[in-house]
Structure 1
């Protein structure tokens, strides 16, 4: 478990670097274009290839890792390299075909993703999207290299993969302000290429050698396709939810897509920083324990992972709810990002944060089912949640005054329903796996987070009234209130004797001694 913990901590560290740069990208876009038609158009254009391929890429990685290990153990590294090249080349061809189709039918695709776009916003979205779709092959190659490096137990480089992508987008944003907004997608396109080029030398160092090899009859390729199907549908559900949210948002007031995006990025920072780091490292371990039929350790690992996520996510979600406005104001309100954009984004952040624990546990529980070679259960539950999300989206927007908040709230509710269904399905599949411990930790975490919220909010209002307004004052006020709240939360969970805290403290002590 210590090796897994070290890998997870290392991945969190590099993810933090990548996420900060990702925030830099969002800040640059917010400062340059605010919540405007141009920012809406660019975000939709970036989202389209991501929606088309993220589901495929994630599914490829999920199926590739166990099959690569199977080929390597039975046939050796040379055949495993052939298998990698076979998958790599087929994915590139598929992506090129998608690019051609996408370029030919860009107006229709954009109108599908953003039915409310008109005039200059629509024209920009079509141009941006057409350029972005040219990078589909780069995106596909990046995902294969990422899966290859992970199977070779190199988690650091895949964690840093977004760095070159975000760097080129930031450069393009800065240049576009002085030259033309039509430069924006070219920076993103170059960034997609360098995502792949960044990983390639490290993959070659691990043994990857490119060969122009394609074998459609390969038995392992067929097995991979069989595994990918349910995973693809399950992952695509999340992408469809994003499409629906942004499509409906395009019919609301201008800037709604941008506000949703900025709020969602704050949520994704937490997911990418902590949850993805944990799930990426624990997935191979759970797969091994499952194949060894080590039920006791398998169940303990599930319980420990869920409790760790709970302890991390609940205080962050509560903090984001009570301090949404000052957080968004401090991070984004400058340049073209005005008070109106801050209010819109803060509202979306509050309602997204309601379901943050659902987003986190959904990823962990999904990996548990995949490690059991059950790809159908997450798919079925995900489809149910998608139907609920769409229904609630329409209900909240059409029949209430929630508007933008309704879209975020619907997403949160559907995520919470998903984890409830996954918990029930997992209990039926493997029997008891520490449900009482999980419930107890969740209750203790919620009690601690409630105390934290009272202290943090009181501290914020008190310090703000003393220091007044201003950038430096706001930084000090927010930092102090968050620090006090975190201290109260930490003391509270220690006093409530949450066992996972001892594991964290022991890890910190060992690091200090070293």
Structure 2
């Protein structure tokens, strides 16, 4: 990895981590205020719907349209040069407004179809909250467009602030408005955070907006038509990836009250390493992959993929191991307070431990998908994504009644594993160049580090639980989390002795002169 790429990746990862640290604080607050309850289930169901279209459009616009358009500009500017892009942006915002209106009108039917097992009072609350959240659709679509322009210009920092701004506003709204508004305080916080992030992106792109962006309807413009062949499969593939969460919610809605909330809390914690590390790697590596494929330099693309894969595994494999080992103390320490009791902690921790392997698998799959899109093979991702969704549906149907939430978690992990394996095989095929010879050795080193992390941490955890059976739960949870320290030290020693490049680079940034020793 080049110095510039590593610096950009770590910078984005740092902002992502800050946003996720605030997300943890928000989650702790929400858990204490509402517990794992039917009221909070209603909010999670309502929160899902307005994010569907913007979530899909973010991927579509960022990956497919804007990078191609920006490369075709060749330094040109002005509304005439941007007419094709302006047409797309105008169309997206119009679709967002119409979609928000339709979602408001059809909220009752949508909630019933997506979460048919909700109790009548929870269903009614979910419909009400869904309608209140409808302004989020155009707000998020606007942010998606502006963030995509920033990414295309390789300006990553303002889009990466989203987690910071939105979570700060939600926390403030929950603290200040809870007594007067109840669960609706979270709605106010969500909308306020989206408004603030849109305002920041408008300000950071103000010059580009002033000089280039105008409403347009040039549906026959080449810059609008050429990317459509990529946009359609990417839209289908992104929608397919969203389906997994909807499928899980559909099956979980028939379980006890609070099950949706427990799954949401576990998913938030398990998703943090993916969103912090995998998103940073994908964001900073994708432009280089695109340029390599545009030059037909498959060797460079293969090297970038191998470099990104090693860096990604280096960051996410330890996170997956520690979350699997320490799920219960992590949940107790983060969430067990207020209305979130010990039973909710146990339920959430089991789901979290079973979801932990999906951290690595999802991260690997997302990087491989970027390779497929850089190679303009989007339908391959569509096929892989739909296989994962179909497998998730089948396994959920088989396991939800027998194993409950645990069955849903295992189903999610299995489908993520299959997607990772299939996407890696597909990525290797389109790269048309062998992986660097060092990649296998580097992966062996990472596996040795994983063993060195797991064994001491597990032994320390067992010893701690054997001698501290009657200690207060928060203190015991804190001490159990400390059991990761000997494992981390052993893993670092193994990696240092083996010359693991990412570890040495990280230490070198902290202590200049050490990396080359």
TM-score bucket of the superposed structures, by smaller chain? over 0.9
The corresponding residue for 2:449 is: 448
**Structure-2 residue corresponding to 1:312:** 315
In structure 2, distance between residues paired with 1:91 and 1:473: 51
Cα distance between partner residues in 1 of 2:511 and 2:220 = 54
Between the aligned partners of 2:155 and 2:423, the Cα distance in structure 1 is: 30
CA drift of 1:24 comes to: 2.0
Alignment of 1:34-433 (within 5 A): 34-73=35-74, 75-76=76-77, 78-179=79-180, 180-205=182-207, 208-209=210-211, 210-398=213-401, 401-433=402-434
Q: 1:112 to 1:442 in 2, by over 3 A?
A: farther
Displacement of 1:444: 3.5
C-alpha change, 1:100 and 1:512, in structure 2 (3 Å) is farther
Q: Is the Cα–Cα contact under 8 Å of residues 131 and 189 in structure 1 kept in the other structure? A: no
CA distance in 1, matches of 2:191, 2:119: 24
Change (3 A) 1:133 1:291: same
Q: Which runs of 5+ in 2 are unaligned?
A: none
Cα-to-partner distance string for 1:186-210 (whole Å, 9 max, x where unaligned): 3322322222112110011456544
1:113 Cα shift? 1.4
Deviates more, 1:30-39 or 1:504-513: 504-513
Per-residue Cα deviation, 1:273-307 (whole angstroms, up to 9, x for no partner): 11100110000011112222223222111111111
SS in 1 for 2:376: coil
Over 3 Å counting, the alpha-carbon distance change for 1:77 and 1:238 in structure 2 is same
Q: 1:462 to 1:24 in 2, by over 3 A?
A: same
Alpha-carbon deviations, 1:135-171, whole Å to 9, x = none? Answer: 2111110000100111122101100023332233223
Alignment-derived partner of residue 19 in structure 1: 20
Report SS of the residue matched to 2:64. Answer: helix
Cα distance per residue 1:237-259 (max 9 Å; x no partner): 12101000011111111111111
Distance 2:476 2:422 in 1: 42
Larger deviation, residues 369-378 vs 465-474: 465-474
CA distance in 1, matches of 2:113, 2:440: 42
Distance 1:208 1:233 in 2: 33
State the distance in 1 between where 2:390 and 2:193 align.
Answer: 34
Structure 1 contact 354–409 (Cα < 8 Å) conserved: no
Pick the aligned partner of 1:494 from 493, 496, 502.
Answer: 496
What is the distance in 1 between the residues matched to 2:502 and 2:138?
43
SS of match in other structure, 2:214: coil
TM-score when scaled to structure 1? 0.93
**How many residues align structurally?**
511
Cα distance between partner residues in 2 of 1:181 and 1:76: 46
**How far apart are residue 315 of structure 1 and its match?**
1.6
- Partners of 2:36 and 2:462 lie apart in 1 by 28
- Superposition deviation, residue 424 in structure 1: 1.9
Q: Which moved more, 1:85-94 or 1:363-372?
A: 85-94
Deviation (angstroms), 1:365: 0.5
CA distance in 2, matches of 1:218, 1:151: 20
What TM-score comes out, normalization by structure 2 length?
A: 0.93
The alpha-carbon distance between structure 1 residues 171 and 123, as it changes in their structure 2 partners (threshold 3 A), is farther
**Secondary structure of 2:220's partner?**
coil
1:352/1:475 Cα in 2 relative to 1: closer, same or farther (>3 Å)?
Answer: closer
Aligned Cα RMSD in Å? 2.3
Q: Distance in 1 between matches of 2:481 and 2:398?
A: 38
- 1:498-509 aligned within 5 A: 498-509=500-511
Q: Is the 8 A contact 2:266 2:352 kept in 1?
A: yes
Gaps spanning 5+ residues in structure 1: where?
none
